[in-house]
Amino acid sequence: MRKNKLIPDDNAIKILAVDDDPTMTLTIASYFTASGYIVETENSPERAVERVRNEHFDIMLLDFLMSPICGDKVVSAIREFNDELFIILLTGHKSLAPPIKTIRALNIQGYFEKSEKFDQLELLIESCVKSIKQIRTITEYRDSLARVNEQLNEAKNRLERSYSEMTTTLRSIVDARDIYTRGHSDRVAYLARRLSAELGRSEGECSIIHVTGLFHDIGKIKIPDSILLKEGILTEEEFAVMRRHPEYAVDILNNVSGLAQIIPAVRSHHERYDGKGYPQGLRGLAIPLDARIIALTDSYDAMTSYRRYRSNIPPDEALDQIMECAGTQFDPELAECFVKMMRNRADWEKTDPDWISIEPAGVIKER
């Protein structure tokens, strides 16, 4: 018996010795069990196939010339359902071994010419063991990676649920203060996302602007009820307070790390293309694209929604007003695209479930 041989340590290698000569299988089992392997024997080639089907073995030592079927037939049957088993053929004489072409076709790892010494067979087995251990390492790494990915997905799902709950809570705070604007942010967000898609923007960009629309008025939380809920037209002083809601929104959103990327658009959604808007007086393309889009959808929904201090106007009239303000209040190219989209709204407003679910929320609309 060779010294310094590779003896499996963590997970013992399981060998099935198959030979129609019981003396041969007993000799193999005795020798390799002493080497640290788990060795089981089988003297029937047909039963050997079924054992491989129903049990786990790492290596098969298989006699080539057996009765009633030879080893190559056994391997063919096994390869129909198992490609992982390492197989070493045992032959009484080298000339009796199957051709190399057959060995390759059946994915046989080698063959051993029977003798009184098992040194060469040990080397073949050790070579198989090295490959088996590498495969186990790769499999364990793959399974570990799959578990990590599963855990990451679970964490991501929890974060998304928390994020959704947080956004719903924040939005409901704004909606709860004023029944007349309830659902406004949902409609602004929906139309902004649809317009972004019309512009050919990416799914990620469309998702971001949808969130921007949901929170564009979050700053109104800090507006006093005496102003926010006033029945009539605001005074200049009151309007000055109302104009501060974009900056109030920035203060609120700065405390929510997951919403930092929407801050520029929320701050600037009341800027005008001609530079006469607020809070910074930005002009033209200096206004963030998302803010220019929100400005359109926000104004459209405001015009077509009933308010305490005025009645709503029909959608097509609101679109006419948007075109009249293109180049002054609104980005002209975006205004043209938005108006075209809304003129064709019959194609989607009665069929899109996302719109149907929020459009009626603006009850208190008189169209």
Distance between CA atoms of 85 and 36, rounded to whole angstroms?
19
Would you say residue 55 has pLDDT above 80? Answer: yes
pLDDT reported for residue 298: 94
Q: For 202-258, how does the pLDDT look when each residue is reduced to its tens digit (9 = 90+)?
A: 999 999 999 999 889 888 888 888 888 787 788 999 999 999 999 999 998 888 777
Q: Are 91 and 112 in contact (CB under 8 A)?
A: yes
Give 265 or 173, the one with higher predicted confidence.
265
Question: Any idea which of 94-98, 314-318, 319-323 has the lowest mean pLDDT?
Answer: 94-98
Residues with catalytic roles: 220
Q: Are 126 and 5 in contact (CB under 8 A)?
A: yes
Give 201 or 158, the one with higher predicted confidence.
201
Give me the amino acid identity at 99: P
What is the Cβ-side half-sphere exposure of residue 61, based on CA atoms within 13 angstroms? 33
How far out from the chain centre does Cα 103 lie?
44
Q: For 115-172, how does the pLDDT look when each residue is reduced to its tens digit (9 = 90+)?
A: 778 888 888 899 899 988 888 888 888 888 888 888 878 877 776 676 667 666 666 6
pLDDT reported for residue 244: 94
pLDDT reported for residue 8: 43
Q: For 330-350, how does the pLDDT look when each residue is reduced to its tens digit (9 = 90+)?
A: 999 999 999 999 999 888 888
* Span 167-196, average pLDDT: 77
Would you say residue 351 has pLDDT above 90? Answer: no
Distance between CA atoms of 319 and 158, rounded to whole angstroms?
41
Q: For 1-37, how does the pLDDT look when each residue is reduced to its tens digit (9 = 90+)?
A: 444 444 444 568 999 999 988 999 999 999 999 988 9
Phi, psi of 352 (to 5 degrees): -75, 115
pLDDT reported for residue 72: 85
Report residue 174's pLDDT band, with 50, 70 and 90 as the boundaries.
low
pLDDT reported for residue 5: 44
Distance between CA atoms of 275 and 218, rounded to whole angstroms?
23
Token reading at 199 = 């512009």
CA-based radius of gyration for the chain = 38
* Span 288-312, average pLDDT: 88
pLDDT reported for residue 114: 82
| Most confidently predicted of 61-75, 89-103, 215-229, 286-300 | 286-300
Question: Based on the number of CB atoms within 10 Å of its own CB, is 242 exposed (0-12), middle (13-18) or buried (19 or more)?
Answer: middle
- Provide, rounded to the nearest whole percent, the portion of the chain with pLDDT above 70: 86
Token reading at 62 = 């298989």
pTM, two decimals, is: 0.56
pLDDT reported for residue 156: 73
Give me the amino acid identity at 146: A
pLDDT reported for residue 175: 64
Report residue 80's pLDDT band, with 50, 70 and 90 as the boundaries.
very high
Beta-strand runs (E) in 43-114: 59-63, 86-91, 110-113
What is the chain's mean pLDDT, rounded?
A: 85
**Alpha carbon distances (Å) from 68 to 44, 45, 79, 95, 201:** 9, 8, 19, 21, 70
Q: Are 61 and 37 in contact (CB under 8 A)?
A: no
